[in-house]
Structure 1
Amino acid sequence: MIRVLLLIGILAAAMWFGPMLVNNAGYIKIIVAGTVFETTLLGLSLLILALIAVTWFIGIVLRKLLRLQHISFNFFRWRRQRKAQQAYELGLQAYAKQQWKLASQHLAKACHDDFMLEEKRLFAAYAAFYAGDINQANSYIAALSAESNSTLFVQADLLLQQDQAAQACVLLRDKVTADTEDKGLGQLYLYALQQAGQWQQLLQVVPLAIKQQWFDKDKWRQQRFDIYPAAISQLSQQQRFDENADYWLNLPAKERKSTAANVGRAWAMAQSGQNEAAEKLLVSQLQLDELPLVLPYLRKIPLGKSVLKLRKQAQHWLRDHASNGYVYALLAYLAEQEGEPQQAEIAWHKARQYEPKLG
């Protein structure tokens, strides 16, 4: 609006003063240090305009050479950039505070300037999504570079958060290959496969995840328990788990023999009624230091009353680790399996006493 008003003002001034300047060009004489400059007012005006044009051209060249494209010598552009930068700062602050609607409003204003535009659109897409405006979020995603891994990540991530894991898997399947360098994309693909229940495909991807180190050592230790127990038990229920199949044999031996994999085997045995064999396998595999990782999955295994050996193992651990809350949680699970709710409640009380996060 300001530009339009200025343009109208300039045109009006030109119409008013133009004919007068042409017919009465004026005369200007400047004497500096004995040097005399003589020209007309119109000539001086044209000279000033030429100097402005040269200055503008030099500014463009300097911006290109010094890579200062985000800096503008144009007042109006500079003003717009400054407002956009302020909006970006306020948007990030609101984003950090999880004030999604406010963040979405500020980031929308920040997108009016093209400096760091891709990053602004990424944040704006998430802010709009969390604010409940899915259409607006999709519009930001559509404006992102189609070839960028970041675009693919945000598309798949938002699909996962809308419980559309199967679509996320389709989106990521062709992009997560042996040449993938984006570990975040690989991690998201694993999560999508887990959420979609595509267990066989998940096991096929594991060697790639290990080779490319999508997770560090500690996180992969947790990932084993997120993958193998559910994958093996679910595939066994569907009568599709085969230890001679390529998807299993292609796994490193360390993975196939891991505690997590054996918990999955025990789970599958218990589901097929082999409770005693499942308990025997668990007793041979469980380690005290892995109990925090094992327990969430162990509690899903329907052992029934076949828990005597496990109970003895837990009591043995308690003799040397009387304040270990996870051992008490194990005892609570065993009591539940034996149909002793009172004993289970007592054990759970002890477990929460020594390990509050179990509550």
Structure 2
Amino acid sequence: MIKILVALLVLAAAMWLGPMVFSQPGYVRIVLAGYTLEMTVVGLVIMLLVAALLLWLAVKIVRWLWALPSRSLGFFRWRRRQKAEQAFQEGLRAYARQQWQDAAQLLQQAMTEKKYHDEKLTLISYAAFYAGQQEQADQSVRQLPADEANSWFVKADLMIQRGQAQQASLFLQDKVEQAPKACGLGQLYLYSLQQAGQWQMLLEQIPAALKYRWFSKVQWAAQRYQIYPKAISSLVQDGSFSEQADYWQELPGKERKSVAAVIGRAWAKANQGHSDQAERLLVNTLALVDLELAWPYLRQIPLGRSVLQLRKQVQHWLHDHPSNGYLYAMLSWLAEQEGEQEQARLAWKKAVQYQPELAASLR
């Protein structure tokens, strides 16, 4: 509304002043250095407007010419950035396809753009390592920031993959103390101890793993089976396992009583010739919900003929859960322990029928 009102006022002023100006245009005389210039007031106004327009255009042209070098450099920088981003995208695709050499080359080209600098170095380290270019992998690792958990992880992980688990565990020992909340670093530290066979030290680190939550609840439920059976049986074989030892007593009671820990103790007792004690431990501890995770470790326990109580327990469960393949797998294993090969074969056939994924457990 206001705009319309203003437009009407301007139009009215033009209609009022226009005839007056054209009927009495007036004139302007300029005398300068012997020259005289005469023109109407309207002509002067038009000339000033044209001069202002030319001055504005001149300023624009000068500014454009002044910025031309930086514009040219900006174009080249933009072009270089575009090439780096394209190389980064293609390098990621090659990495996903496990084309390691191509990935390393493309990601190295992407390093001309500083964005995602550390991430690119990390990927180059792995790609070069998998491509067999050890020197390039080590060089990329050295370029990573020396005081960050990600850099420590990459360096230790490549050590482990080279078969240097002992060196990796020594390297990570100090780093985990510096960054105890770095879950990935903590997980890798436990894994390095496993690969190095440092079972006692591994058990000593479990309170820290629980305190700083290196694993989620679901992850830890599975991780127990990766730790306790092998750790306990190995320590027993070395003659260094004791339930009174500090490293064992410092574990939370829930951990010491866990199914995974009991399987480890049963494994150790069976290997010491106490199969009846091993069976009793399993009968008193195992529950139906534990079988899926426990099965790969249970089947390695040499119970011999001490399977009667455990067989009864499994058959009791099977009565209420006739389509549970893990129960048939247990019956197959127990039959093998007693030397009943045909019965074991039939039970295993049933197990694979109900749980096809069990077929992979024998590979």
Q: Name the residue aligned to 2:27.
A: none
Distance 1:319 1:36, change over 3 A: closer
Shift of 1:205: 0.4
Shift of 1:342: 2.3
Which of residues 51, 58, 61 in structure 2 aligns to 1:34?
51
8 Å contact from structure 1 (residues 271, 302) kept in 2: yes
Shift of 1:341: 2.4
8 Å contact from structure 2 (residues 200, 247) kept in 1: yes
Q: Name the residue aligned to 1:289.
A: 289
User: Where does structure 1 lack aligned partners over 5 or more consecutive residues?
Assistant: 1-30, 39-44, 60-71
* d(CA) in 1 for partners of 2:262, 2:351: 25
Q: Name the residue aligned to 2:259.
A: 259
Q: Name the residue aligned to 2:154.
A: 154
Q: Name the residue aligned to 2:78.
A: 78
Distance 1:238 1:35, change over 3 A: same
Q: How many aligned positions are there? A: 308
**Partner SS for 1:177:** helix
**Partner SS for 1:289:** helix
* d(CA) in 2 for partners of 1:85, 1:247: 51
Q: Name the residue aligned to 1:26.
A: none
Shift of 1:179: 4.9
Q: Name the residue aligned to 1:113.
A: 113
- Identity, in percent, stands at 52
Shift of 1:106: 1.3
8 Å contact from structure 1 (residues 194, 202) kept in 2: yes
8 Å contact from structure 1 (residues 178, 208) kept in 2: no
* d(CA) in 1 for partners of 2:178, 2:206: 12
Greater mean deviation of Cα atoms: 130-139 or 210-219: 130-139
1:140 maps to a residue whose letter is S
Q: Name the residue aligned to 2:327.
A: 327
CA RMSD of aligned residues (A): 2.6
Q: Name the residue aligned to 2:41.
A: none
* d(CA) in 2 for partners of 1:259, 1:303: 17
**Partner SS for 1:278:** helix
2:259 maps to a residue whose letter is T
Shift of 1:135: 2.1
Shift of 1:237: 0.9
Shift of 1:157: 1.2
- State yes or no: 1:351 paired with 2:344: no
**Partner SS for 1:251:** coil
* d(CA) in 2 for partners of 1:178, 1:110: 32
**Partner SS for 2:145:** coil
The aligned runs of 1:232-243 (5 Å cut-off) are: 232-243=232-243
* d(CA) in 1 for partners of 2:202, 2:318: 37
* d(CA) in 2 for partners of 1:36, 1:199: 86
8 Å contact from structure 2 (residues 207, 251) kept in 1: yes
Please identify which structure carries the higher helix content. Answer: 2
**Partner SS for 2:317:** helix
TM-score normalized by the length of structure 1: 0.80
Q: Name the residue aligned to 1:11.
A: none
* d(CA) in 1 for partners of 2:179, 2:156: 19
Shift of 1:194: 1.1
Larger Rg: 2
The aligned runs of 1:262-341 (5 Å cut-off) are: 262-341=262-341
Greater mean deviation of Cα atoms: 310-319 or 125-134: 125-134
8 Å contact from structure 1 (residues 222, 293) kept in 2: yes
TM-score normalized by the length of structure 2: 0.79
* d(CA) in 1 for partners of 2:163, 2:304: 33
The aligned runs of 1:207-246 (5 Å cut-off) are: 207-246=207-246
